């Protein structure tokens, strides 16, 4: 064995000294006795003699330092990922919408595949087309309602503005007409000075419409493929991971998918009930824009806590302008009643334990999502938090859905089939397909091989070519050889 170099010897000695110091520290902590000064002095002497100051650092400080730099690394990685996601928002946001759309529409696509026997691609296209048709019909009806009620709403808004000016002039404030005229002229001047900015806003709105159109196309395109080949796409991602990671990531993702599915379905149902309740109240009060109010309430319900407040405020303001103060007060009572029923009855009953997030965490998540990505971040903050929460709980040893461990119809395939799915994604035959085949063609000779064993399996029989004759090996041998039959 070649002698070690001087640097290697010093490194080995330093490692041994470090282990000795760590053992002394552990022993002292385990004994729960008072600190012994001679041990500290011994450590100090050894550190100075070997020029190794790091062995004099206490064990607790080393552990804290290790946790600190690893935590900083995780935070830095999360910041980099967030920056990339924000820069690619025009692609990431349609992808997220397509995932949520797939989760919501998967039962309908499954119905077309299983009950109506549609092919997968036809079921996916039919499902997406029905969804698009429903959205277009809703937008058309809401647009017609806005067009019919806008002229009346405009006249009432002008009348309300004139009444407000009259109250300022004749009410307790006693504002002079000259001051009111001066205020109005200042407002007109501000609008004229910012005409260029308004025009640029129109152009930016036009470009935003183009961006939205491209995003809608991406959502529809990806939604079709997610409904058609969602599991194949997922298995492709799984096989990119190291083999010892695949099982845990796959199982944790299945639980997170179930959580996301429950959240989306429950949120859609709750939003629909809110929209029907508030729009119905506005309809019975005679508010002209009751249908657009319902659409607004439905969309705003996907923003937890904040969306309900904003949509309720808009509904009450529209009722105030359209039908007066009494109608606005009655609609406010209706809005508060619907929101209380939602938060105290519908949310716990329908959503159950799918989210398992504290309201403070929900509010902070919505605030952080709004700060980082605007309205889009507010919409996606809570479901993403629920997804990550379920994922990390499973990896830490807590399974929120233990029934999935034995459910053959769960998302992601039956338990224990991940290896076969990965093999199948590479083009190999799965174990079930392999067992169903009774004959295989030899890719070299073209001869047909029988998979049945030639002899007793307990005595070590092996598959042999069809028509071949087994020749026993000499005594003491453990192999058989095969030869073609003599003609």
**455 CB-near residues (< 8 Å, 6+ apart):** 461, 462, 470, 480
What SS3 class is residue 5? Answer: coil
Give the pairing type, strands 439-441 and 469-472. unpaired
Angle between helices 120-170 and 195-238 (to 10 degrees): 150
Where in the chain are the domains? 6-73, 89-181+209-405, 438-483
Q: Give the closest residue to 413 by CA, choosing from 226, 240, 237, 230.
A: 230
As a whole number of angstroms, the distance between CA 38 and CA 40 comes to: 5
Name the strands in the sheet holding 448-453, side by side, starting at the edge strand that comes first in the sequence: 439-441, 448-453, 463-465
CA 181 distance to own-chain centroid:
54
Neighbours of 386 (CB within 10 A): 23
As a whole number of angstroms, the distance between CA 337 and CA 334 comes to: 5
Give me the tens of pLDDT residue by residue for the chain, a chain 487 residues long.
455 566 677 777 777 767 776 676 666 555 444 445 555 666 666 666 666 666 667 778 878 888 999 999 999 998 898 888 888 888 888 998 899 999 889 999 999 999 999 999 999 999 999 999 988 888 788 777 767 766 666 666 666 666 666 766 676 666 666 666 676 677 666 655 655 554 454 444 445 667 778 888 999 999 999 999 888 999 999 999 998 899 999 999 999 999 988 888 888 888 888 889 999 999 998 888 888 888 888 888 887 777 778 888 888 888 888 787 888 889 999 999 988 887 777 777 766 556 677 778 888 888 888 887 777 888 888 888 889 999 999 999 888 888 998 888 888 888 988 988 888 888 776 666 666 654 444 444 444 444 433 444 444 444 444 444 343 344 444 444 444 444 3
pTM assigned to the model: 0.66
Q: Is 280 exposed, middle or buried (0-12, 13-18, 19+ CB in 10 A)?
A: middle
**167 CB-near residues (< 8 Å, 6+ apart):** none
As a whole number of angstroms, the distance between CA 135 and CA 102 comes to: 15
What SS3 class is residue 194? Answer: coil
| CA atoms lying within 13 Å on the CB side of residue 482 | 14
């Amino acid at each position: 064995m070649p002698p070690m170099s001087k640097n290697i010897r010093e490194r080995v000695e330093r490692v041994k000294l470090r282990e000795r110091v760590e053992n002394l520290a552990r022993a002292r902590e385990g004994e729960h006795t008072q600190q012994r000064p001679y041990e500290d002095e011994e450590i100090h002497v050894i550190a100075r003699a070997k020029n190794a100051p790091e062995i004099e650092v206490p064990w607790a400080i080393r552990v804290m330092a290790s946790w600190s730099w690893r935590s900083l690394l995780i935070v830095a990685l999360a910041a980099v990922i967030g920056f990339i996601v924000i820069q690619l928002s025009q692609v990431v946001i349609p992808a997220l919408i397509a995932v949520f759309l797939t989760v919501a529409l998967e039962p309908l696509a499954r119905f077309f595949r299983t009950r109506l026997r549609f092919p997968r691609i036809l079921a996916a296209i039919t499902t997406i087309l029905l969804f698009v048709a429903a959205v277009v019909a809703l937008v058309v009806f809401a647009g017609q309602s806005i067009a019919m009620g806008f002229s009346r709403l405009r006249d009432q808004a002008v009348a309300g503005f004139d009444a407000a000016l009259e109250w300022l002039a004749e009410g307790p404030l006693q504002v002079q007409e000259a001051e009111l005229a001066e205020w109005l002229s200042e407002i007109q001047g501000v609008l004229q000075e910012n005409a260029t900015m308004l025009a640029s806003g129109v152009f930016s709105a036009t470009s935003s419409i183009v961006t939205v159109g491209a995003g809608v196309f991406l959502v529809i395109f990806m939604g079709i493929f997610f409904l058609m080949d969602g599991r194949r796409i997922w298995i492709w991602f799984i096989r990119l991971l190291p083999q010892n990671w695949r099982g845990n990531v796959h199982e944790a993702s299945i639980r997170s998918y179930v959580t996301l599915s429950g959240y989306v379905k429950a949120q859609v149902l709750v939003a629909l009930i809110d929209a029907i309740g508030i729009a119905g109240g506005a309809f019975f009060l005679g508010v002209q824009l009751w249908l657009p109010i319902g659409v607004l309430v439905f969309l705003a319900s996907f923003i937890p806590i904040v969306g309900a407040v904003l949509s309720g405020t808009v509904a009450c303001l529209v009722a105030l302008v359209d039908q007066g103060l009494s109608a606005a007060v009655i609609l406010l009572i209706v809005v508060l009643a619907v929101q209380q029923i939602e938060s105290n009855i519908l949310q716990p009953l329908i959503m159950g334990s799918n989210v398992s997030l504290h309201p403070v965490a929900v509010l902070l998540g919505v605030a952080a999502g709004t700060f980082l990505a605007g309205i889009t971040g507010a919409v996606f903050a809570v479901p993403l938090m629920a997804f990550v929460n379920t994922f990390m709980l499973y990896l830490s040893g807590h399974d929120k859905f233990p029934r999935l461990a034995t459910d053959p119809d769960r998302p992601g395939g039956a338990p224990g089939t991940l290896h076969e799915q990965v093999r199948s994604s590479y083009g190999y035959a799965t174990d079930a397909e392999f067992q169903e085949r009774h004959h295989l063609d030899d890719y070299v000779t073209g001869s047909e091989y029988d998979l049945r064993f030639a002899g007793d399996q307990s005595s070590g029989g092996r598959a042999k070519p069809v028509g071949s004759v087994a020749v026993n090996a000499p005594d003491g041998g453990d192999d058989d050889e095969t030869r073609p039959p003599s003609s």
